């Protein structure tokens, strides 16, 4: 829509003004790492963070949430919807791509009213990554180093003494008009931004040995790869990889009843396809009893199934699963090994 400039000395005022009208969450330091959390004091906000332990997904699909309350005697049920107006500030481009996928998942075919209520009341402010998070990230290979159109409201780029603000939606435009002291970008600003964006590109390495466009086809011919057995033998089935993943959205539900045994609520909580009983169904059949089968399933979700279903990749290259895995199972080594087995590494 437009490009605005907010001087850095005015950024604190912008955030403080938003804090008066919304719950503002953003990257905060936690010991030597970063987490997305509520910003109550400007000093807590670290827009120059590398990565966060959990992705900002947790504010759209919380680890635990109540779906409805019920009374077991009267059979009354009441929806519990969390639609608190929220600004998620400082979302990296890989995490924006992940939210774009979640938006498809939770509104295509079946509208998930809890996700949608939060999403509609959330303003997303992205931030351009100018350096790779660390050795684990492979966003450039996955095509997520630039923000996805139609997903964010505002997108910030650090241009030295100011932030350039790409205004993408009406909501974002209103936020700037209402809460920021901003001016229109001029020719000099455009030149600076273009220089910064072209200079950043070589800093990010390609990690995949092939073009990501080939990934779904590679997966299709990798069903019987011996790699799945090898991964299954070392995987601890801890579920850390899926818990930290911005594109994983599997959940389970259970009813929680109070001491009266009448009032209760239905809870939705994150689940993991890597856990033992994930695919166990009534009657006792387990569709994926071995760790090898669960690893294969996970990587097919990342490399093929989501692309088939939504036209979007199921992995955005954030590197969180590789950082979290104690036995160093990563998408890069897995996909590259499948490619090597298929081609001998020859492009």
Residues at the site binding ligand SF4, with contacts judged by CB under 6 A: 235-241, 244-247, 274, 302, 315-321, 324-327, 329, 331
* Cα Rg, the chain, nearest whole Å: 22
Minimum Å gap between C-beta 93 and ligand SF4 is 12
Least distance to ligand SF4 from the beta carbon of 68, Å? 30
To ligand SF4, the closest distance from the beta carbon of 27 in angstroms equals 16
User: What DSSP designation does 302 have?
Assistant: I
Token digits of residue 206: 């390609």
When the beta carbons of 236 and 253 are compared against ligand SF4, the nearer one is 236
Strand partners, 162: 7
Nearer to ligand SF4, 193 or 316 (CB): 316
Supply the minimum distance, in Å, between the C-beta of residue 123 and ligand SF4.
23
Q: Where are the alpha helices (DSSP H) in the chain?
A: 8-21, 93-107, 113-120, 139-142, 170-179, 187-200, 215-220, 227-234, 240-243, 291-300, 306-310, 320-324, 331-343
Residue 141's closest CA among 329, 339, 328, 295? 339
Q: How far apart are CA 46 and CA 25, in angstroms?
A: 11
The number of angstroms, rounded, from the C-alpha of 246 to the middle of its chain's C-alpha atoms is: 3
Query: Which of residues 90 and 246 has its CB atom nearest to ligand SF4 in the complex?
Result: 246
Cβ 223 to ligand SF4 shortest distance, Å:
19
CB of 234 to ligand SF4, least distance (A): 7
Instruction: Report the alpha-carbon distance of residue 130 to residue 54 in Å, rounded.
Output: 21
For ligand SF4, the closer of residues 17 and 336 by Cβ is 336
**Comparison of 145 and 329: residue with beta carbon closer to ligand SF4:** 329
Contact indicator for 55, 245 with CB cutoff of 8 Å? yes
Question: CA–CA separation, 244 vs 51, rounded Å?
Answer: 11
Nearest to ligand SF4 of 67, 313 (CB atom): 313
Q: How far apart are CA 317 and CA 135, in angstroms?
A: 11
Q: By C-beta, is 167 or 316 nearer to ligand SF4?
A: 316
Least distance between ligand SF4 and beta carbon 300 (Å): 12
């Amino acid at each position: 829509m437009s490009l605005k400039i907010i001087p850095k000395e005015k950024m604190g005022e912008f955030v403080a003004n938003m804090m008066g009208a919304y719950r503002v969450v953003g990257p905060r330091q936690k010991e030597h790492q970063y987490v997305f959390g509520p910003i109550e004091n400007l000093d807590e906000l670290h827009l120059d963070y590398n990565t966060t332990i959990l992705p900002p997904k947790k504010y759209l699909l919380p680890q635990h949430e109540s779906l409805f309350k019920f009374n077991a005697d009267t059979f009354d049920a009441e929806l519990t919807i969390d639609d608190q107006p929220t600004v998620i500030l400082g979302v990296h481009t890989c995490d924006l791509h992940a939210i774009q996928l979640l938006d498809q998942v939770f509104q295509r075919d079946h509208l998930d009213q809890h996700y949608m209520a939060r999403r509609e009341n959330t303003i997303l402010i992205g931030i351009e990554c100018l350096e790779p998070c660390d050795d684990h990230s492979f966003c450039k290979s996955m095509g997520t180093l630039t923000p996805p159109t139609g997903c964010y409201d505002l997108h910030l780029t650090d241009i030295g003494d100011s932030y350039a603000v790409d205004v993408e939606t009406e909501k974002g435009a209103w936020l700037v008009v209402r809460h920021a002291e901003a001016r229109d970008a001029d020719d000099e600003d455009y030149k600076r931004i273009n220089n910064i964006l072209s200079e950043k590109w070589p800093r990010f390495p390609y990690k995949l040995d092939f073009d990501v466009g080939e990934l779904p086809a590679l997966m299709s011919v990798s069903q019987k790869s011996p790699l799945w057995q090898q991964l299954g033998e070392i995987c601890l089935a801890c579920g850390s990889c899926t818990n930290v993943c911005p594109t994983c959205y599997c959940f389970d539900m259970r009813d929680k009843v109070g001491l009266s045994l009448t009032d209760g609520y239905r809870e939705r909580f994150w689940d993991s396809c890597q856990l033992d009983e994930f695919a166990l169904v009534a009657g006792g059949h387990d569709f994926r009893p071995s760790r090898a089968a669960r690893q294969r399933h996970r990587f097919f979700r990342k490399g093929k199934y989501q692309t088939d279903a939504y036209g979007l990749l199921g992995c955005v290259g954030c590197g969180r699963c590789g950082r979290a895995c104690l036995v160093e199972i990563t998408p890069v080594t897995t996909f590259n090994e499948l490619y090597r087995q298929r081609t001998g590494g020859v492009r």
